[in-house]
Structure 1
Amino acid sequence: MPLLRVDQLRRSFAQTKALNGVSLTIQRGEIVALMGANGAGKSTLVKILSGVLAADSGTVQMKGHSFAPRSPAEAARAGIVTVHQSTDLVAAAGQTVADALLLNRFANRSLPFFVSRAGIRKQAQAMLAIAGFDLPLDRDFGDLSAADRQLVGIARALGNRADLLILDEPTASLSASESDRLFEILLRLRRTGLAILYISHRTADLAAIADRALVMRGGVVVGAFARPIDFDRAIETMIGRSLESARPGERTARGEAVFTLRDARLLPDSPAFDLSLHAGEVVAITGVLGAGKSSLLSSIFGTQPLAQGEMVLDGWRYAPKTAADAIVAGVAMAAEDRQRSSLMPPSWPGNSIAATISLPHLARWYRHGFLFGDREKREADKAIDRLHIKASGPLASIWTLSGGNQQKVVLARWEAEPSRLLLLDEPFQGVDVGARQDIIQAIRSRSDRATLIATSDPEEAIEVADRIFVMDRHGLVAATPDRLAFAPEGLPA
């Protein structure tokens, strides 16, 4: 008897069929990869299994019994725990790491009525021991990096000793060493009988741990692949076309110098380096988590000062003190955590596709504070068509879109006005192969600007960039195959 059996599960949102008859099984003690383009139905399936949504029809059985949880807490009690990609769902600023780890126990009142801080820390430390992570228990959760917030969510899930653990892009914000440690933990837990449904767009992750892969497209499972997984076939099944047709076109010629960084230091004691970016080229900065990639982009965008160095933009000295200064000068940036930095909260007005695109341009588009005309809608319509954004229209809430389509909207924001330098921090995080190709083609189609991308995945850097640099200890060096060898599979052939 399988641990989990899903039969003909269906779920629609208005006229959109998110799930159109999904069927699958998961056995105890196996790791099943779930692959699919953004919008294929993966998130809807996970939300139903997690108790966030109810199915329109179909059945789910867990350990041979009917399973239809009405909340994540009910799903957890039945043996299914989910760690979502967004760390906003893990805990909130103001809570300590120890409190965040025990959040479920506070919610279901499984802790004693009177509990000391020492008792909380002891239980939290025990949960970290199970996960094999080392986190500062008294640190404010809101002050943690994206990687450490993700580790808190994973540690909490593992501490609840679930029968089925669902992981949604768990390594998206983790360094290579943290990812390797997580894989070791998951493989150890699999030997104890834990089943894992692992959702990721990183084939290196899946090759490292998955026993088999299921591919979703159009709300149904369209392919199943046993280990060793043929990822070329799996990806072609996922996107519905050959990989050759999905590759971007020839690289554009390099134009005049747009941006120059001279004798720069990100930290007082870090190595000095130079960097020059040219019109029509895409340059990628890669390296392990914490190497300084985000700091470099933040310094260029005016949100973090350089310890030393001079910046030149189009032949003129460039020294922005704020992000607004950078935008006025023609520098745009999409930060790493798009849900925190680029999107309006779901409960706020102005969270539509059109309003998301227009937000940094309001002063130019609506002078003197008067909102007139349909500039927002026109730009959103163009973006939906150009970037193949899957949405009901320009006024659709950004929160109804998949992660890949959200990222396309963030890119469209900076495509709506001319810029000379575009900075993208982890632009492919949580983005599937098909959406990634749309984004790459949009990035590479512009010859009037330079683009600088920070990515922790060398394969992504190789796929998108004309030139690649590796950042190490906040210093910059030219990329060579041996320097890129920290990737799970090194340089592709």
Structure 2
Amino acid sequence: MPLLEAQALSRSFGSTRALVDMSLTIDSGEIVALMGANGAGKSTFVKILSGILTADSGSVTFKGRPYIAATPSEAAAGGIVTVHQSTDLVGIPGLTVGDALLLNRFVDPRRPFFVSRASVRREAEAMLREAGFELPVERDFAELSAADRQLVAIARALANKAELLILDEPTASLSAVESRRLYGTLRELKSRGIAILYISHRTADLEALADRVAVLRGGRIVQTFGRPVDFTAAIETMIGRPLASARPDARRGEGGPVLELSGARLLAGSEPFDLALRRGEVVAITGVLGAGKSRLLSAIFGHGRLAGGTMRLEGRPYAPSSPREAIEAGVAMAGEDRHRASLMPGGWPGESIAATISLPHLSRWYPSGLVGRRKERARAEDAIARLGIRASGPAASVWTLSGGNQQKVVLARWEVEPGKVLLLDEPFQGVDVGARHDIIGAIRSRTDRATLIATSDPEEAIEVADRVLVMDRHTIRGGMAPERKEDLAS
């Protein structure tokens, strides 16, 4: 018997049908990923299970009994707990981790009105031990990383004896390292028999965790994929069309290829592939974690080398031995982890917005070795205005900015000078929706270069790119309809 069974759920908002006869089952100790584009109905389904909304029709059974929750607290008491994407309401600055863990108990009228710090610490440590997590209970909640805030939310859910844990885009604001840490936590919970409904469309998340991937489109589950997941098919099912179908404002690119890869091999034993980028087009490569996306960008940027094949830049042989050579040739890159790859540590000279933007251009801008702060400031002021960077000014530290604004500064670094090819590795990692919209606008506004983006999120790829390719096991395998195979290289 399934732990949870949703049968023919429907829910409308006026004339808009958010769910239409949706059905889904989840077993104990199973991780089911729910994949769908914006507006597919994911949030409505989660709100029904969480006690925020009720269905217009259909039924839900949980542990073999009819299930209806009128409030999130009723849902939690029944064993279904939702951890939302934003952890802003899990705790607030000034509260300790222990306080955040016990917030629900503080408002319980059955609990004593007065509590001691020692009792809070003991109860919080017991909750963390039960969850299997290690967090400093006396640390200010505001000092926690996004991943640790997620762990606090999950620990609270487990303290409620959750049997079904619903996670809504939990890695949206996490770095790659933090995401992998969360994967380990969720695998441990699965081994303890806890069921997880994982809301995401990031292929890296799905490959790492999901036992099944259910694709929601137009309010219905249209297809379910077991392991190993065919992600090209899953993405096409999610969007309802072949990946080869161009976006409405897709650009073909101008003239001959700016960058060409012929017979490229990322590893000695991997299959060769061809790739060509034209000036003015944006190409996105999506695929699971470890598929080879970052390795490809690193080879183009001189951080590594191809195991085979050749590259040509504007028709000439191109094989940079270092990032410096790549930059001098007109190829720029923003790495996956901006904190390690693009930003100077806090407290160091060069942590300001102006210095961050100018860093890779110093030798060309100031060949004498004397840095002109006026020029730095003018370039930074222009970037702040053009990219909508929210900051007090060019002298502001990048570490005072939000993740989205930090990423805009990283992009601005390569916007201030002309270039031939821009490589962006997971450019929307830890970026909110508003900042993502601004960054996509900035990327697509440049028609004087080719842009190659690596992203594990197919919806991001579709949103930003003129062409979307799928990488699997270090080779490009999909992204074009069978009748248009020539588009892979062109």
User: Are 2:279 and 2:450, in contact at CA under 8 Å, matched by a contact in 1?
Assistant: no
Q: Within 2, Cα distance between the matches of 1:94 and 1:192?
A: 34
Instruction: Please give the alpha-carbon distance, in whole angstroms, between the structure 2 residues aligned to 1:12 and 1:59.
Output: 15
Distance 1:431 1:15 in 2: 33
Match of 2:6 in 1: 6
Could you tell me how far 1:253 is from its partner in structure 2? 3.3
Cα distance change on mapping 1:90 and 1:429 into 2, 3 Å? farther
Q: State yes or no: 1:291 paired with 2:340.
A: yes
* Residue number in structure 2 paired with 1:253: 279
Please give the alpha-carbon distance, in whole angstroms, between the structure 2 residues aligned to 1:311 and 1:210.
Answer: 44
Change (3 A) 1:253 1:231: closer
Over 3 Å counting, the alpha-carbon distance change for 1:199 and 1:294 in structure 2 is: farther
The change in CA–CA distance for 1:449 and 1:80 in structure 2 (over 3 A counts) is: same
Q: How does 1:12-411 map to 2 (within 5 A)?
A: 12-109=12-109, 111-245=111-245, 249-250=252-253, 251-253=277-279, 283-287=333-337, 290-291=339-340, 293=342, 317-320=374-377, 326-328=383-385, 330-333=386-389
**Per-residue deviation, 1:331:** 4.8
Q: Which secondary structure does the structure 1 equivalent of 2:88 belong to?
A: helix
SS at match of 1:87: coil
Q: Distance in 2 between matches of 1:74 and 1:239?
A: 35
Aligned to 1:350: none
Moved more, 242-251 or 316-325: 316-325
**Which residue pairs with 1:261 in the alignment?**
none
Give the deviation of 1:282 after TM superposition.
Answer: 7.3
1:163 CA drift (Å): 0.8
Q: Which amino acid aligns with 1:188?
A: E
CA drift at 1:223: 0.7
Which protein is bigger by CA-based radius of gyration? 2
Q: 2:379–2:416: 8 Å Cα contact kept in structure 1? A: no
> Aligned-pair distance for 1:448?
6.3
1:422-437 matched pairs, under 5 angstroms: 428-429=428-429
Q: Deviations over 1:256-291 (max 9, x none)?
A: xxxxxxxxxxxxxxxxx979989x98743213x852
> Does structure 2 conserve the Cα–Cα contact (< 8 Å) formed by 1:302 and 1:321?
no
Deviation at 1:7, TM superposition (A): 1.9
8 Å contact from structure 1 (residues 282, 444) kept in 2: no
CA contact (8 A) 1:331 1:423 kept: no
Change (3 A) 1:3 1:438: farther
SS of corresponding position for 1:291? helix
- Aligned mates of 2:459, 2:350 — CA distance in 1: 22
- Residues in 1 aligned to 2:239 and 2:216: alpha-carbon distance in whole angstroms: 9
Alignment root-mean-square deviation, CA = 5.1
Q: In the superposition, relative to structure 1, how do residues 327 and 108 fare at CA in structure 2: closer, same or farther (>3 Å)?
A: same
Aligned pairs, how many? 374
What is the identity, as a one-letter code, of the residue corresponding to 1:65? R
Q: Quick one: distance in 2 between partners of 1:165 and 1:27?
A: 12
Deviation string 1:95-118 (CA, Å, 9 cap, x unpaired) is 211111222222335654443212
Aligned residue in 1 for 2:395: none
C-alpha displacement of 1:63: 1.8
Residue 394 of structure 1 is matched in structure 2 by none
Task: Give how far 1:82 is off.
Answer: 0.8
Structure 1: give runs of 5+ residues left out of the alignment: 255-272, 344-409, 466-487
| Identity within the alignment, % | 55
Normalising by structure 1, we get a TM-score of: 0.61
Structure 1 pair 304–13 and aligned structure 2 pair: CA distance change class (3 A): farther
Say whether the 8 Å CA contact 1:150–1:173 is kept in structure 2: no
TM-score by length of 2: 0.61
Structure 1 residues 327 and 176, CA, compared in 2 at 3 Å: closer, same or farther? closer
Give the 3-state SS of the residue equivalent to 1:171 in structure 2.
coil
